[in-house]
Amino acid sequence: MTYRDHTVGVVIPAYNEEEFIGEVVESIPTYVDRIYPVDDCSTDDTWDEITAVAERENERRTPTVHSGEVVVPVQHDRNRGAGAATLTGYRRALDDDVDLVARMDGDGQMDPAMLSHLLDPLVDGEVSYAKGDRLAGLDYVSQMSWWRLFGNVLLTALTRVSSGYWRLRDPQNGYTAITHEALDSLSFDDLFDHYGFCNDVLIHLNADGYDVADVAHPAVYGDEESTIQYSSFIPRLSGLLFSRWRWRLRHQTNRTVGAIALGSFLGSLLAVSVGVGYLLQCVTNGTSDSLETDGGTRTRQESPGVSQSVRLLLVGCLSLIVGVLADSSADHGCVVRKGPTDADESDPSPTGAF
């Protein structure tokens, strides 16, 4: 069985998910042709669970378009990171010539019933990449802690700038689907292979000129424990996003716009830095000078440093605006699609909480 005449593969990276991975694999819809659970050298019984569920599911499921087993277990010989585990599954899917490749975590936080809503924009030819969006409204974030919500909103803002998808939300969401063509265009060796992988994929897709879609779905959290330490993850990922932002502006499809945006951003940084320097110098040395006339009277004249710093700050702000406008003008657009509970299936503009 295929999905609307397209073969589908699902990659499931897993690390220490012995309690959830079996149920996740069993819950994958029957129209999926290949399931790739990838054990990233877990220290618990995740691999045993994967091999056991693979044996059960391969007896239950019948291969359709592709020959061989439906569930293809893969194990790393060392822990290489969530991104590397995903890339391992992606490589297997490309080797199997799968049309559409989805990714979901092995912790049971992603509802397999939502998979069709990620695949539809790809099958319809609207976009080449679709991802989940848990920030579409208050109803969707109700189970998300305030600290997690803050981290997601902050990283959304940073990833918008870095990726060039200025209407994107929830870039950390690992529930994704991608076409064979877009997946094959990615340089796997250049992608970040730990947490932050999903953000990096977005940056590379924008540089190659691909459209993406947000698909609203609620945040679901159970007994699983996240291994992400946001206090260290956010600063580390912020550094990655900054370096990738510079890379994207140099390598994106529209090089002229990229050059204008990069020059404007760097110009604004220089102007603001010098302006602040002038302002600090004025504060330290005083903002006015004393002048003595021939008649012996003293007058005070404003130091040129104040006006210079104000002008430079204004130039910096204007350069920043030019950079944002130039970069956003090349935004390939994030097609925001409603979730299954909404009456209207599509909305060209972002709505909801953020």
27 belongs to a structural domain: yes
Q: Are residues 198 and 325 in the same domain?
A: no
Q: Are residues 202 and 129 in the same domain?
A: yes
For the chain, which residues score pLDDT lower than 50?
Answer: 258, 291, 341-353
Q: Are residues 221 and 324 in the same domain?
A: no
- Domain extent, residue 25, equals 8-253+331-347
End-to-end CA, the chain: 38
Q: Are residues 283 and 188 in the same domain?
A: no
352 belongs to a structural domain: no
Q: What is the CATH number of the domain that holds 213?
A: 3.90.550.10
**Cβ atoms of residues 170 and 152 within 8 Å:** yes
353 belongs to a structural domain: no
Q: Are residues 129 and 71 in the same domain?
A: yes
CA distance 56 to 19: 17
What is the model's pLDDT at position 348? 37
List, for residues 174-201, the tens digit of each pLDDT value.
Answer: 999 999 999 999 999 999 888 789 999 9
Q: Are residues 146 and 235 in the same domain?
A: yes
Q: Are residues 191 and 295 in the same domain?
A: no
Q: Are residues 315 and 169 in the same domain?
A: no
48 belongs to a structural domain: yes
Q: Are residues 117 and 249 in the same domain?
A: yes
- Dihedral of CA atoms 223, 227, 229, 230 in degrees, nearest 10, equals -70
CA distance 106 to 227: 13
List, for residues 196-219, the tens digit of each pLDDT value.
Answer: 899 999 999 988 889 999 999 887
What is the model's pLDDT at position 334? 60
Q: Is 27 exposed, middle or buried (0-12, 13-18, 19+ CB in 10 A)?
A: middle
* Nearest CA among 156, 101, 113, 106 for reference residue 133: 156
What DSSP designation does 260 have?
H
Q: Are residues 315 and 340 in the same domain?
A: no
> Token digits for 119?
């695949």
3 belongs to a structural domain: no
Number of neighbouring beta carbons within 10 Å of residue 137 = 17
Is the pTM above the cut of 0.95? no
What is the model's pLDDT at position 352? 42
294 belongs to a structural domain: yes
Distances (CA, A) of 96 to 36, 81, 123: 11, 23, 19
Q: Are residues 128 and 185 in the same domain?
A: yes
124 belongs to a structural domain: yes
> Token digits for 244?
């990738």
Q: Are residues 117 and 182 in the same domain?
A: yes
* Tally of structural domains, the chain: 2
2 belongs to a structural domain: no
CA distance 281 to 1: 72
Supply φ then ψ for residue 102, to 5 degrees: -100, 160
